Amino acid sequence: MTAVVTAPGGIIGSDRDQWAVETHGLVKRFGDNIAVDGVDLRVPRGCAFGYLGPNGAGKTTLIRVLLGLTRADAGTMALLGHEVPRDRAQALARVGAIVDEPRFHGHLTGRQNLQILAAAREPAAKGRISASLERVGMIQRADDKVSKYSMGMRQRLGVAACLIGDPQLLILDEPMNGLDPAGMREMREMILSLVAEGRTVVLSSHLLDEVERTCDAVAIVDHGHIIRQGPINELLQGASLALEVDCSEPDRAAALLAGTLVDANPVVEHLGLSVSFPAGTPRDVFAEVNRLLVEGGISVYRLQAIQASLESWFLQVTTRLGDPE
Amino acid sequence: MTTLQGVEPSAPADAAAPDHRGSWIPTWSMVTTRFMELRRRKGIMITIFVVVIALPTVFLAIRLLLHAVDPKSYGVAGGANIFAGLVAGVMYVFGFIVAAMLGCTAGSIDLSEGMFRHLVVTGRSRLALYLARIPAGLAIIVSMVAVGFAIICLVCSFAAPTTVSYDGATVPAGLSQPAFVNWAGDHWGTVICQFNFNGPNFGNVECGPNGFVGIAKNGVPGAPTSSAGQPTTAQLRAAAMKIAAQNYPDYAAIFLSPPISLMVGSGLWLLLETTIGFIVGLGLGSLLGQRTVSVILMIVLEIVLTPLLSRNRIPYLLNAQRGLVGVATGHLEPNGLITVVGSGGGPGGNLRLPETTTVAVIVILAWLVGWTVLGAWRMAKRDA
């Protein structure tokens, strides 16, 4: 798996072939509304890349621009090293994508729908239909009409449609929609196996847990801007620290910590005490908390550092922080 | 989960075999899969079948049956007149409408059913995606219309009447001039009483409502008479043969079964009409992105606007009226068919808007090219 080369301010690298997706100052407007606002995105080859953002952040619009489904108003972009739209046909030859809900001709079977799509691709694509259907677990239902498919089955068929082109880059927009837990797990495993084969998967989703389990790196988009991008583990290092403390007299413990540690933010919860610290606080502060409590005559039963999750970090960095929803 | 069998994963992009997917020319596979997609639409296929095959077939089958059961009361099923009526009255109008329906479907359905996005993502030229629909759709509509037309041709040829009704007289069909004249000599009473002719008045020949009755005393004026003053049979026979010779050109213009030339011409004319219906429907469907509205507009064009504008001259708008594709195709209607929408050139044609054949051809080409360009342009520029 290719390592993601990043720096805090963005992804380093000048070789265009290094990136599966590369955009510079991409802009897409709908009237007065700017859906994509100067996006600079670089997705390294051979990784699972999460593209996250709240509803209406411009995720799908960016994907549509990348795929030539709609035109950009400004900026440049390249897929697999090919400039788009100038070399669009060459670029999309090795790209598979699901955008929004996958829809097909309902009066045809899944296999027949794939035959139509394979005909628009290279001649070898037709020979990959059965293998693609098998890979997504649809071979048994391949000859049923799509109108009889569930949402989850159409999602799988959408992935199969991507695979018939033997893509180097897959762009999947909310591929978990409509899948049951088992289906989500299979989809996750399939994405990981595709990445293991050296393919690049861009996963647009608001299911943060799934993205965290699946992706190596993410970009967070909000109001059309990319506000953070990089490997997940590096990004989470910049998230705030949290400590869960199980102790006697939590109220007195909270008061003690608040009066002693300037950066601590203790909150009494029904299971005990939760203390959060700003990003960048050294882990030594945990030992300091324990010492202060013990010296204050408070019994400490358990002290646990809480790993910052993508979800909590996402809520910190997006403007949705503090929204009632 | 299994891996893609026989597929080398993540091959370099440039290693992909050149497939010319940026080319505007559709591949054979694109045409055949599009054909398959349209052919499996049960609703529209049943509609086309009913209109261009079942309708004329049932009509002709009923006529065959009735004639078989009661030949005296019911005429034969086929013949040139039935052919002319079915081709111009049914196949022309309804063939255009169902072709337009298929075209509108082909032009809009990818968009409304969400497949357009998948197809665009393949990187294939949008123009090629559009153009693939033309041979696919035409293969369907032309073959269906051809089947209906062939049934009409067969029945009208093989179940044609065996005698001609000429000036109310029953005459064998397909006679040469000498044979026709000989037949007239054998049926001189019928000929003298019922045929139109220029020449002496056979006032002495008594004719009733059903033809020849007898000879008047004064005989046939100008004809030699017998000693009793009555024309001889030989004299009447000679007069009838003379009349028949005068009438032969009109008789020869009557066909029992449609002549080959008329069937070929009508077939090509129907082919042109269905092609126009499909191409215009395809362009309109692609332009609007909606099937229902497109179909309604095409029906309005065919059964409201075209008859209306072809029957009435509107000052200062004559050239615009001539620009209507229905007027132009009506101008190319083969002689021998009944007139369609008031602008046909057939017998009794009511050519309200005279135009040259060149203008008609230019108008038709302009419609075909114009709607193709419009539909393809919209498809190329549309957000997917």
Instruction: Identify whether residues A157 and A53 lie together within a single domain.
Output: yes
Which range of A40-44, A56-60, A210-214, B310-314 scores highest in mean pLDDT? It is A40-44
Q: What is the pLDDT of residue A10?
A: 39
Distance from CA of B252 to the nearest CA of A (A): 54
Q: Inter-chain contact B13–A67, Cβ cutoff 8 Å?
A: no
Q: Which residue of A22, A73, A84, A94 to mutate against B (max B Cβ within 10 Å)?
A: A94
Instruction: Identify whether residues A275 and A205 lie together within a single domain.
Output: no
Burial zone of A63 (CB within 10 Å; 0-12 exposed, 13-18 middle, 19+ buried): buried
Instruction: Identify whether residues B138 and B266 lie together within a single domain.
Output: yes
Q: How far is CA B246 from CA B180, B195, B239, in A?
A: 11, 10, 11
Instruction: Identify whether residues B143 and B176 lie together within a single domain.
Output: no
Instruction: Identify whether residues B146 and B200 lie together within a single domain.
Output: no
Instruction: Identify whether residues B175 and B223 lie together within a single domain.
Output: yes
Structural domain span for residue B218: 166-252
Instruction: Identify whether residues A182 and A247 lie together within a single domain.
Output: no
Q: Is residue A6 part of a domain?
A: no
Distance from CA of B136 to the nearest CA of A (A): 13
Last residue of a domain, one of B233, B252, B271: B252
Instruction: Identify whether residues A131 and A91 lie together within a single domain.
Output: yes
Q: Is residue A153 part of a domain?
A: yes
Q: Is residue B95 part of a domain?
A: yes
Q: Is residue B15 part of a domain?
A: no
Q: Which residue of B has its CA nearest to A136?
A: B1
Q: Is B186 or B310 the better-scoring residue by pLDDT?
A: B186
Q: Is B336 or A92 the better-scoring residue by pLDDT?
A: A92
Q: B161 — alpha (psi -120 to 50), left (phi > 0) or beta? A: beta
Instruction: Identify whether residues B339 and B242 lie together within a single domain.
Output: no
pLDDT digits (tens, 9 = 90+) for A18-41: 889 999 999 999 988 889 988 999
- Cβ proximity of B82 and B52 under 8 Å: no
pLDDT band, very low/low/confident/very high, at B203 (cuts 50, 70, 90): low
Q: What is the pLDDT of residue A264?
A: 80
Calculate the average pLDDT of chain B. Answer: 83
Structural domain span for residue A252: 240-307
Q: Which residues 255-284 of A have a C-beta within 8 angstroms of B?
A: none
Instruction: Identify whether residues A196 and A81 lie together within a single domain.
Output: yes
Partner B contacted by A107 (CB < 8 A): yes
Q: What is the pLDDT of residue A6?
A: 40
Whether the link from the prior residue into A85 is cis, omega within 30° of 0, is yes
What CATH number is attached to the domain comprising A118?
Answer: 3.40.50.300
Last residue of a domain, one of B210, B227, B252: B252
Beta bridge partner(s), residue A241: A277
Residue with tokens 């199969």: A160
Q: Inter-chain contact A126–B118, Cβ cutoff 8 Å?
A: no
A88 → closest Cβ in B8, B117, B123: B123
Q: Is residue A111 part of a domain?
A: yes
Last residue of a domain, one of A206, A235, A264: A235
Q: Hey, what's the torsion of the CAs at A112, A117, A119, A125, to 10 degrees?
A: -100
Instruction: Identify whether residues A301 and A169 lie together within a single domain.
Output: no
Q: Is residue B4 part of a domain?
A: no
Q: Which residue of B has its CA nearest to A94?
A: B13
Residue B17 has pLDDT above 60, yes or no: no
Helical spans, DSSP H, in A54-180: 59-66, 88-92, 110-120, 129-135, 151-163
Last residue of a domain, one of A217, A235, A253: A235
Least confident of A51-55, A71-75, A305-309: A305-309
Instruction: Identify whether residues A289 and A175 lie together within a single domain.
Output: no
Instruction: Identify whether residues B202 and B92 lie together within a single domain.
Output: no
Q: Is residue A324 part of a domain?
A: no
pLDDT digits (tens, 9 = 90+) for A275-320: 888 777 777 888 888 999 999 999 999 888 776 667 777 776 675 5
Give percent of chain B with pLDDT exceeding 90.
47
Q: Is B129 or A270 the better-scoring residue by pLDDT?
A: B129
Q: Is residue B109 part of a domain?
A: yes
Give dist(CA A19, CA A84) in Å, integer: 14
Number of domains in chain B: 2
Q: Which residue of B has its CA nearest to A133?
A: B4
Instruction: Identify whether residues A278 and A130 lie together within a single domain.
Output: no
Q: What is the pLDDT of residue B53?
A: 96
Residue A96 has pLDDT above 90, yes or no: yes
Q: How far is CA B53 from CA B60, B99, B279, in A?
A: 11, 13, 21
Q: What is the pLDDT of residue A319?
A: 55
Least confident of A10-24, A239-253, B5-19, B242-256: B5-19
pLDDT band, very low/low/confident/very high, at B201 (cuts 50, 70, 90): low
Sequence-distant (≥ 6) Cβ neighbours of residue A16 within 8 angstroms:
A22, A78, A81
Instruction: State residue B24 phi and psi, 5-degree precision.
Output: -80, -10
- Cβ proximity of A64 and A77 under 8 Å: no
Q: Is residue A127 part of a domain?
A: yes
Q: Which residue of B has its CA nearest to A131?
A: B4
Please tell me what DSSP assigns to residue B274. H
Instruction: Identify whether residues B137 and B208 lie together within a single domain.
Output: no
Q: How many CB pairs under 8 A join A and B?
A: 155
Instruction: Identify whether residues A71 and A43 lie together within a single domain.
Output: yes
pLDDT digits (tens, 9 = 90+) for B41-100: 999 999 999 999 999 999 999 999 998 898 878 888 888 888 988 998 899 999 999 999
Q: Is residue B221 part of a domain?
A: yes
pLDDT digits (tens, 9 = 90+) for B85-133: 899 889 999 999 999 999 999 999 999 999 999 999 999 999 999 999 9
Q: Is residue B11 part of a domain?
A: no
Instruction: Identify whether residues B40 and B130 lie together within a single domain.
Output: yes
pLDDT digits (tens, 9 = 90+) for B361-378: 999 999 999 999 999 999
Q: Which residue of B has its CA nearest to A106?
A: B113
What CATH number is attached to the domain comprising A286?
Answer: 3.30.70
Taking CB atoms and an 8 Å cutoff, what residues of chain B touch A186?
A: 1
| Greatest Cα pair distance in chain A | 77
Instruction: Identify whether residues B179 and B158 lie together within a single domain.
Output: no
Q: Is residue B284 part of a domain?
A: yes
Residue B352 has pLDDT above 80, yes or no: no
Instruction: Identify whether residues B40 and B120 lie together within a single domain.
Output: yes
Q: What is the pLDDT of residue A238?
A: 66
Q: Inter-chain contact A103–B114, Cβ cutoff 8 Å?
A: yes
Number of domains in chain A: 2
Last residue of a domain, one of B191, B224, B252: B252
Q: Is residue A277 part of a domain?
A: yes
Which range of A313-322, B284-293, B325-334 scores highest in mean pLDDT? It is B284-293
Q: In what order do the strands lie in the sheet with A200-205?
A: A95-98, A169-173, A200-205, A48-52, A217-222, A225-231
- Cβ proximity of B4 and A131 under 8 Å: yes
Q: Inter-chain contact B7–A128, Cβ cutoff 8 Å?
A: yes
Instruction: Identify whether residues B199 and B154 lie together within a single domain.
Output: no
Q: What is the pLDDT of residue B265?
A: 94
Residue A116 has pLDDT above 50, yes or no: yes
Q: What is the pLDDT of residue A260?
A: 83
Q: Is residue A8 part of a domain?
A: no
Q: Is residue A86 part of a domain?
A: yes
Instruction: Identify whether residues B45 and B190 lie together within a single domain.
Output: no
Q: Is residue B10 part of a domain?
A: no
Instruction: Identify whether residues A196 and A121 lie together within a single domain.
Output: yes
Instruction: Identify whether residues A143 and A167 lie together within a single domain.
Output: yes
Q: Which helix (H) or strand (E) holds A213?
A: helix A208-214
Instruction: Identify whether residues A181 and A269 lie together within a single domain.
Output: no
Q: Inter-chain contact B114–A135, Cβ cutoff 8 Å?
A: no
